Structure formats: structure tokens, C-alpha cells
Amino acid sequence: MSVGLIGAALALSLAGPANARETERAGEAGLTGEAGETLAASAGWQLTPTGTDARFRGLAAVDRRTAWAAGSKGTVLRTTDGGRSWRNVSPPGAGELEFRDVEAFDARRAVVLAIGEGEASRLLRTEDGGATWTESFRNTDARAFYDCVTFFDRRHGLAMSDPVDGKYRILSTSDGGRSWRVLPSAGMPDALPGEAGFAASGQCLVSSGPRDVWLATGGGATARVLHSGDRGLTWTATATPIPAGDPARGVFGLAFRDRTHGIAVGGDYRKDQPSPQAGAVTTDGGRTWRTSDTPPPAYRSGVAWLPHSRTAALAVGPTGTDLTTDAGRTWRTIDTGSYDTVDCTDDGSCWASGEKGRIARAGRH
């Protein structure tokens, strides 16, 4: 990994804020130009042994040693040794649940989201590293289907459901996920016909800073991103150039490095369908979006900024991993392994997870 593009980009991101010299060093490291092709051939994630074939669409990287993964068959894993070993900390009796998102505060405290219609949508919390779990929310509305959860800090967070009565439904917590309440819908714009969120990577609802949150959509005539600057009370909706118009197409994942600079990825998740314009960027907090000049070459469901970088990010999907070193304007495929989601930590590591129990990491041990 030390000679791979991911490792090189991580090393650069930890060196300090982006500037002209950083761009020059990126070129020297092979992150741009023809020299990058040689490094791209050797770049790749370091797979870790999980001992399961569950599909992990939920991932929360705490630091280079600690991460949580949540997936199919009610499976939750946790590592505290950089992925060298994983402990199965699944909630008892959760085998029928489909976990699609996990938000972790540290090695002991985490919240997981199970998706599905009616009571299949649930939120559970642990305060002891998964030794015990408490169900803090169970959906009782057959019309609701919860997709993603995000936290602004250790206390305040939101979860989102597909539209109910024509508007996305938002849950709010102010006690770290111990209790939840449905927010009023008066400040939520109407959903488009057929529009919904995608529970594909835990990144259809993301936050940055103490109050800003973004919601990704697809399935309608236009793929949109909704933004709230007051923790989910009022929202504005903006169209993106990522193609929609079909239940399988739209924005699947979002990442914001601050309250203004964001990346959206998506496409068409069907294997036999192309995904042109699978990436878009914003520099004004989501008020406007423009297509990446060279977007990812195929459907991508997850995206993450590298730590402390203003320009580098990773996007992942079933057909590979792409790297950008110019804030999402151009992307290059650096790995062809299958992953659904990706997350990076402040101390210099990135993690990815997906089908057949695949969890990998890159960066410092």
C-alpha cells in the first residue's frame, strides 16, 4: 500500500492544506499524468479477514485502529486493531434485519440503522462496544422506509425515510441516539413522483459541521440533493446533473469536506446499464452542481474525502475504486475490487466495505 495511489494520496493529505506545492508533489508521486498509470497498476486495498459473507453497506471508521461495519443478516463487526481481527458484535436476534448504516462515536458507542418497510426499519445503540444493544426506535408506519442516519456531533443526529405523504420524513435525536422524534414536515419540499433515497452505502444523508446536512435522491425525473442549514427543520432542493428518470438511477452517495465543498456520486446500479455522468461537484453548499469533467467510469455508491485534503477523495462501487486529486473534477480508477462504501479518518487511514464480507483498509497502521 505504501507505493499505491491511495497511500500516496493519504501521505500528501496529512502533510498539510492543499496549495501549489501540494499539487506539484502529487504529480511527483504519480497521482497525475502518465506516471500514475504505473502506480495505479499496483494500487489496491488491503483486505482484512472478517470471517463472514455478509454484505457491509454500513461503515464507520473512527481512527486507523477502530472501525465498525454493519450489513446483511443482522451483522455488526468491530475492530480495534486496524482490521487485523474483527469481533462479531451483532445484536442478539437481529438475523432477519438488514443493517445499512452505522455511525460510531468511538470504540464503545455506536448507532446502527436497519432498513425496510414498517417495523423492519429500526435504530439500535450500544455503549459497551456491542456487548449489549438497546433498540431506541422502531418504525410503526407501514408507509415509511428509513435509509440513512447521520450525526452532527455525539448528541445531535438525524435519520431519513423515503417520502411519506409526499415528503421525506426526518427523525431527530439530541441525546446520542437514545431517543428519536419525527420532525415537522412543513419545511420539507415536496418529493418528486417516484423519488426516494438509496440505502446503498449509508451516505444518502450526510452532515458537515454543527448544523448542515444533505439528502441524496433518485428515482424521480431528476436526481436531487436537498440541503438543510438548521438540522433538518427547513430544506431546499437542487437538481444535479447525475442521470435519473428510473428507479435504479440517481445520487447514491454524498461527501462534504466542509459546508460548501461537496461531491456526489451515483448512476445506474444495474450491472447491464451504463452510468454516464456518475459524478458531480458543488462549491456553494449544494446550491448548484456541475458534472465532473472526467466522472467515474461506472456506477459508484460511496465517496469520501481524504483526511485534511482540499483536493483528494475516493469513490467506490461494485466495479472499482476511483481517486480524484482535483476535488472531484476528474477521476481515475485505481482498483477493480468490489466495494459499496468508503470512509476515512483524521489520523490517516481509509476503509472500504462491500459484498461477501469484504472490508479493506489503506493508510498508516
Domain boundaries, the chain: 5-363
With residue 8 as reference, give the H or E element that holds it. Answer: helix 5-14
Could you tell me the pLDDT band of residue 39, with boundaries at 50, 70 and 90?
A: very low
pLDDT at 223 over 90: yes
Rounded to an integer, the average pLDDT of 16-31 is: 42
Rounded to an integer, the average pLDDT of 136-156 is: 98
Instruction: Report DSSP state, residue 1.
Output: -
Rounded to an integer, the average pLDDT of 267-281 is: 97
What pLDDT, on the 0 to 100 scale, is given for residue 11?
Answer: 72
Q: Locate 271 and state its grid cell.
A: 450491472
For 60, 159, 345, the CA distances from 65, given in Å and listed in that order, are: 12, 27, 10
Which overall architecture, per CATH, does domain 5-363 show? 7 Propeller (2.130)
Q: What is the pLDDT of residues 60-115, one digit of tens each?
A: 999 999 999 999 999 999 999 999 999 999 999 999 999 999 999 999 999 999 99
What pLDDT, on the 0 to 100 scale, is given for residue 9?
Answer: 76
What pLDDT, on the 0 to 100 scale, is given for residue 69?
Answer: 98
For 269-273, the CB contacts below 8 A with 24+ separation are 269/198, 269/200, 269/299, 269/301, 271/318, 273/248
Question: What residues pair up with 321 in beta bridges, in sequence order?
Answer: 316, 335
What pLDDT, on the 0 to 100 scale, is given for residue 356?
Answer: 97
